[in-house]
Amino acid sequence: MSEYHDFYVARLAEHSTVPTLLCGHCRSILSPKRIFANDGENRYSLPCDIIGLCSADDCGAVNCCDEAMKGAEQQHYENRVAV
């Protein structure tokens, strides 16, 4: 298990048609493939349920995505209502 003392909070991109999470450090887009539940034997020692790893070469920050994912669900819902 890896120990991380520093992590960032992912942000939800505004004005995007599809909910998109941004790295809380460098603001690059977090690939959905790099976002996963913080659970099981690979669990990170972070106080959050959803982890997003930044894939930017010079960043590689560990992001906590809990709040952003809640926002994404909300945004998704509102988009559907709007259509």
Binding mask 16-45 for Zn ion (x = CB under 5 A): -------x-xx-------------------
CA distance 56 to 74: 27
**Is the Cβ of residue 16 or residue 55 nearer to Zn ion in the bound state?**
55
Residue with Cβ nearer Zn ion (19 or 59):
59
> Is 2 in contact with 31 (CB distance < 8 Å)?
no
- 65 phi, psi to nearest 5 deg: -105, 5
Interface residues with Zn ion (CB under 5 A)? 23, 25-26, 54, 56, 59, 61
